């Protein structure tokens, strides 16, 4: 669960930043948006987050875990495609291989309350 731990620490950092900006004393719940390609396990992530957030104002926060699907845009024909994986990318419309991933790799937090 190594990458869950580093993802949890990164998410915690974003949450504390957001909480500070909004002057929150305690974080009760937060949405964590995780790109599909990060392949995080929700259970592992929750446990890692619990561990990482101990002693912070996000300790005990309820995590709403959402997966953001992989999406890409072809640089040749500009169509949006939804590849099954980020490993073998080619455009199903023009067979171009110059593909730009636009979502599915992110780690974001939202709805910090
Ligand atoms: Zn294309």
For the entire predicted model, the pTM comes to 0.84
Q: What is the whole-number distance in angstroms between the Cα of residue 81 and the centre of ligand 1?
A: 9
> Can you give the pLDDT at residue 86?
65
Distance in angstroms (rounded) separating the CA atoms of residues 13 and 103: 21
Q: How would you classify the pairing of strands 62-68 and 107-110? A: unpaired
CATH number of 2-110: 3.30.2320.80
Four-CA torsion 45, 47, 53, 54, nearest 10 degrees:
-170
Q: What SS3 class is residue 8?
A: helix
Domain boundaries, the chain: 2-110
- Nearest Cα residue to 108 out of 71, 78, 67, 58: 67
Q: What is the whole-number distance in angstroms between the Cα of residue 87 and the centre of ligand 1?
A: 17
Tell which phi-psi region holds residue 6, choosing left (phi > 0), alpha (psi between -120 and 50) or beta.
alpha
- What are the tens digits of pLDDT across the range 3-57? 899 999 999 999 999 999 999 999 999 999 999 989 999 999 999 999 999 999 9
Q: What is the whole-number distance in angstroms between the Cα of residue 46 and the centre of ligand 1?
A: 38
Mean residue pLDDT of the chain comes to: 93
Q: What is the whole-number distance in angstroms between the Cα of residue 3 and the centre of ligand 1?
A: 33
């Amino acid at each position: 669960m190594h990458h869950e731990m580093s993802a949890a620490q990164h998410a915690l950092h974003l949450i504390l930043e957001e909480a500070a900006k909004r002057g929150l004393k305690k974080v009760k719940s937060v949405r964590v948006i995780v790109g599909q390609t990060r392949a995080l396990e929700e259970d592992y992530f929750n446990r890692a987050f619990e561990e990482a957030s101990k002693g912070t104002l996000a300790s005990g926060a309820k995590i709403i875990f959402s997966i953001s699907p992989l999406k890409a845009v072809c640089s040749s024909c500009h169509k949006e495609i939804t590849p099954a994986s980020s490993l073998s990318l080619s455009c199903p419309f023009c067979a171009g291989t110059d593909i730009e991933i636009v979502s599915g790799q992110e780690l974001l937090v939202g709805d910090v309350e």
